[in-house]
Amino acid sequence: MKNRIGIVGGGQLGRLIAIDAKKLGFTVNIIDPTPNSPAGQVADHQIVADYTDEKAIRELAKISDYLTFEIELANAEILDELAKKGLQINPSAQMLGIIKDKLEQKKFLDKANIPVADFVEVNSMEDILKAGKKFGYPFLLKARFGAYDGRGNALIKTEKDIDKGLKKLQGRKLYVEKFVPFIKEIAVMVGRNLKDEIISYPVVETIHKNNILHLLIAPAPIDKKIQTKAQHLAEKVMQQLKGAGMFGIEMFLTKTGDVLINEIAPRVHNSGHYTIEANETSQFEQHARAITGMPFGSTKMKVPAAVMINILGERDGPAKPQGIAEAEKIPGVTVHIYGKLQTRVDRKMGHLTAVGETVEEALSKAKKAQKLITI
C-alpha cells in the first residue's frame, strides 16, 4: 500500500497539509532546515536539511511514495531527475522550474494568451530607463527568484526611485512590470488530480498591507459575472500547468472589469486558508487527495461567508501566543497558531478565520478576535 507522502519544506503550509494527510491515513515525512519546524511538529519524521540539499531530497525520496513541496525554493533540477526515474512528484518539477522564475512565469502565461501586465527583462540601468519610457511611471521593478510577500518588489514612482530599487534588489536577476491600476486584488484556488480533473474554489478578495496578505473575504464581494470570469480564467491557467495538486492564482481586477493574472503559486496558498472552516473540503486535504490519486472532495462553501486575518509577528524574539482561548470564545472564530518558536516583525505566526451569515458579521467577529491575540 502506497501511503507515504514526502514534503519539501516544513513551514505552516507543510504543517497544515500534514495534519489533513494524516487524517486521510497517510504518513508524512518532511525536509526543513529548522529543527522542530512547524510541519516537523506534526509529521512522522523530519530530515533537518536545506530545501535544495540534493542528498536530503534523495533521502526523502527513498521514504516517500508521493513527493510534493510547500515552497518554491525546492530544488527543481533534482526533483525533475527523480520524476524521470519514476517517483510520483506533484506539482511537476518542470512546472516548478517555470513558476519559481517570475519572468519565465509571465512569458509562459503570455504565450498561452492569458492576460498579464506588460513586462520586460532588464539587465542594466539603461534597460530600466527604457522600460520607464515604454510603460510610463509608476512601474514595478521585480526580482525573478525567491520573492514572496512583496520582498522582491520595488515600486518605481519616478526616475529618482530607480537607484533605491536597485539597492533593495541588489545582486538579483530583475524584470520590469507595468503598473496595473487595479480596484481589487482577488484570488482563486484551483486543483488538478492524477485523472486530470480540475476543480476551483470560490473567488475571494485579498487585502494586503505592506505587500503581505492581511485580510481575506470569501466569497469576494464582486459582481457574479466577474466571479465567473475569474473562475474560468483560473481554470484556463490550470489547463496550461502540468502535474497534480493545488495552485493559488492571484489576480487583479480593473475598473473596466478586466481580470489579469498577477502571480501563480504552485502549491497550497495563504488565500486558501479560509477553506479549513468555510468549505466542505479544505485546500490542504484537497492537495493530499490530488497528489495521491484520490478523488476530489467538494469545494462548496458550507457557510454563507468567511473572513481570514493573518496573525503577524509584532517584535523579534521568542514566540509567546496569548489570547487564543479568549478569541475562540467568539462564536464562529477559529485560531491556527503555526508553532514557530521565534517571532519576527511581519512573520506569519498564525491565522484566524471567522464564519458568519454575512460578510459584515464575519468581518466584525474576525476584527474583534484579532484585537485579543498577541504573539
Same domain, 301 and 171: no
User: In this structure, is residue 108 part of a structural domain?
Assistant: no
Measured in degrees and rounded to the nearest 5, phi and psi for residue 348 equal -75, 110
| 228: nearest Cα among 210, 262, 253 | 253
CATH of residue 153's domain is 3.30.1490.20
CB atoms within 10 A of CB 37: 25
CATH number at residue 48: 3.40.50.20
The DSSP secondary structure of 321-338, one letter per residue, reads -BSHHHHTTSTTEEEEE-
Q: Is residue 100 part of a domain?
A: no
- Whether residue 153 is found in the same domain as residue 230: no
Instruction: Tell me: do 218 and 332 sit in the same domain.
Output: yes
| The last residue of a domain, from among 146, 178, 210 | 178
User: Are 173 and 225 within one domain?
Assistant: no
The residue behind cell 485546500 is 283
- Shared-domain flag, residues 172 and 30: no
According to the per-residue pLDDT averaged within each range, which of 58-67, 82-91, 144-153 is highest? 58-67
My answer on whether 132 and 214 are in the same domain is no
Hey, how many other C-beta atoms are within 10 angstroms of the C-beta on 209? 12
DSSP letters, 71-96, are STTS-HHHHHHHHHTT-EESS-HHHH
Given a contact cutoff of 8 angstroms between Cβ atoms, the answer to whether 305 and 204 are in contact is no
Over the stretch 207-238, which tens digit does the pLDDT of each residue have?
999 888 999 999 999 999 999 999 999 999 99
Is 112 within the bounds of a domain? no
The residue range of the domain holding 125 is 118-178
Res. 72: pLDDT tops 80: no
C-alpha cell belonging to residue 331: 462564536
Assess if residue 138 is contained within a domain: yes
201 shares a domain with 129: no
pLDDT given at position 74: 73
| pTM higher than 0.85 | yes
- Number of domains the chain contains: 3
Which of the listed residues 136, 156, 178 is the one where a domain comes to its end? 178
Q: Using one digit for the tens of pLDDT, what is the confidence trace for 297-345?
A: 999 999 999 999 999 999 999 999 999 999 999 999 999 999 999 999 9
Within 8 A by CB and 6+ apart from 312, the residues are: 212, 345, 346, 347, 348, 349, 375
**For residue 118, what is its C-alpha cell?**
506588460
Is the residue at 11 inside a domain? Answer: yes
User: What pLDDT sits at residue 113?
Assistant: 94
DSSP characters for 119-137? EEEE-SHHHHHHHHHHH-S
Residue-wise pLDDT for 251-289, tens only, equals: 999 999 999 999 999 899 999 999 999 999 999 999 999
pLDDT at 73: 73
Considering 178, 207, 223, which residue would you say is the last residue of a domain? 178
CATH number of 319's domain: 3.30.470.20
d(CA 28, CA 39): 9
Do residues 323 and 337 both lie within one domain?
A: yes
Per-residue confidence (pLDDT) for residue 56, from 0 to 100: 95
Residue 104 lies in a domain: no
Q: Is the distance from CB of 336 to CB of 38 less than 8 angstroms?
A: no
Same domain, 123 and 188: no
From CA 243, how far away is CA 168, in angstroms rounded? 35
Same domain (yes/no): 202, 336: yes
**How far apart (Å, rounded) are the C-alpha atoms in residues 240 and 266?**
12
Contact indicator for 335, 321 with CB cutoff of 8 Å: no
Same domain (yes/no): 268, 254: yes
The reply to whether 171 and 187 lie within a common domain is no
Within a domain: 269: yes
What is the secondary structure of 222-243 as a DSSP string?
S-HHHHHHHHHHHHHHHHHS-S
Interval 155-199: pLDDT, tens = 999 999 999 999 999 989 999 999 999 999 999 999 999 999 999
**Rounded Cα gap, residues 258 and 268, in angstroms:** 25
Closest CA to 96 of 123, 57, 131: 57
Would 359 be classed as within a structural domain? yes
CA–CA distance, 365 with 354 (Å, rounded to integer): 6
